[in-house]
Amino acid sequence: MEIFAQQIVNGLVLGSIYALVALGYTMVYGILGLINFAHGDITMIGALVSLTVIQLLAAAGVPAPVILVLAGGSAVLVCAILGLSIERIAYRPLRRAPRLAPLITAIGVSILLQYSAALIWGKQYISLPEIIEPAQFTIFGAQLTSLQAAIFLLACTIMAGLLWFIKASRMGRAMRATEQNPDVAGLMGVNTNTVIAFTFVLGSAIGAIAGLMVVLYYGLGHYFMGFMLGLKAFTAAVLGGIGNVGGAVLGGLLLGIIESLAAGYIGDLTGGVLGSNYRDIFAFLVLVLVLVLRPSGLLGQPGGERA
């Protein structure tokens, strides 16, 4: 039972990070109908930027809370600019192109980001310097560090804030209008180009925070880390119903729990035949199952699938 509680806690923390990345996929998909393949790599850039800032400031002896705020801030700034320019340069000219074109561009951007990162940061794993000593405490028989708790709470705050923003603010309403029908939204006086650019900026900024969290959680960064993270976050978005912001949150948390439980129990269940090295397969299995059984996802509208 203790193992079960532990896996649930781990899953929730991991899942909240997936959910943050999934938000970026789902918001862009909702408005443009485009899978932004590069989103996982934007998160990776956010992670590596914050790692570099932490390394520099930790060496200078700056206190930990200041370091974290500055690291998060610079990652958000870099990723927001990156998201904005990618939308402007690579996606906007192709908005009316045949549907294969923006997908291929997105893959191109993803490769560009990965290997630019390899050029800047090298191909080795970069480890996080020891800046915080997380306190340990026990909850329902599960071990939890203050770092994990902080990640989970911050992620929940951001998600709640985003849901409120989309529901209540003027820009949020413009986003929903553009999502329903860009042409009509334009006629109603919504500047759809601004809205789409803003969506990219918002998604990338949230992705940057998720990148910082991954770095803090695993203590490592790598130029290729965005690939698996992106694949899982996309799965989370599909699981919750792609295009649905609440669904991305639900899907992320669920996927985190599924993955933790599966990785924790697969050894026992199969008598040690399959190990946790199959961990990364679960996300994919979930993706295929959802696509076969309920392509619209948990919170999506059934039948809304455009063939």
What are the residues binding another protein (CB under 8 A)?
34-35, 90, 93-94, 96-105, 107-116, 118-119, 123, 227, 231, 234, 238, 273, 275, 277-278, 280-281, 283-284, 287-288, 291-292, 295, 305-307
Q: How near is the Cβ of 266 to another protein at its closest, in Å?
A: 12
List helix spans (H) across the chain: 2-32, 39-60, 64-86, 100-121, 146-168, 170-180, 182-187, 192-218, 225-240, 245-269, 279-293
Q: Which is nearer to another protein, 120 or 160 (CB)?
A: 120
Q: How near is the Cβ of 74 to another protein at its closest, in Å?
A: 24
CB-based contacts of 241, cutoff 8 Å, min separation 6: 247, 251, 296, 297, 298, 299, 300, 301
Q: How near is the Cβ of 5 to another protein at its closest, in Å?
A: 29
Q: Which is nearer to another protein, 246 or 295 (CB)?
A: 295
Taking the alpha carbons at both ends of the chain, their separation in whole angstroms is 45
Q: How near is the Cβ of 142 to another protein at its closest, in Å?
A: 29
Q: How near is the Cβ of 110 to another protein at its closest, in Å?
A: 7
Q: Which is nearer to another protein, 8 or 287 (CB)?
A: 287
Question: Taking the CB of residue 81, how many other CB atoms lie within 10 A of it?
Answer: 13
- Helix axis angle, 170-180 to 146-168, nearest 10°: 70
Phi, psi of 234 (to 5 degrees): -65, -45
Q: Which is nearer to another protein, 59 or 273 (CB)?
A: 273
Q: Which is nearer to another protein, 152 or 282 (CB)?
A: 282
In degrees, rounded to 5, the angle at the alpha carbon of residue 125 between the alpha carbons of residues 153 and 86 is 70
Query: What one-character-per-residue DSSP string does 144-167 give?
Result: EEHHHHHHHHHHHHHHHHHHHHHH
Q: How near is the Cβ of 41 to another protein at its closest, in Å?
A: 10
| Closest among 210, 186, 49, 34 to 107, alpha carbons compared | 34
Q: How near is the Cβ of 238 to another protein at its closest, in Å?
A: 7
For residues 86 and 56, the answer to whether their CB atoms sit within 8 Å is no
Q: Which is nearer to another protein, 103 or 131 (CB)?
A: 103
Q: Which is nearer to another protein, 110 or 204 (CB)?
A: 110
For residues 87 and 28, the answer to whether their CB atoms sit within 8 Å is no
Q: How near is the Cβ of 255 to another protein at its closest, in Å?
A: 13
Q: Which is nearer to another protein, 72 or 221 (CB)?
A: 221
For residues 13 and 180, the answer to whether their CB atoms sit within 8 Å is no
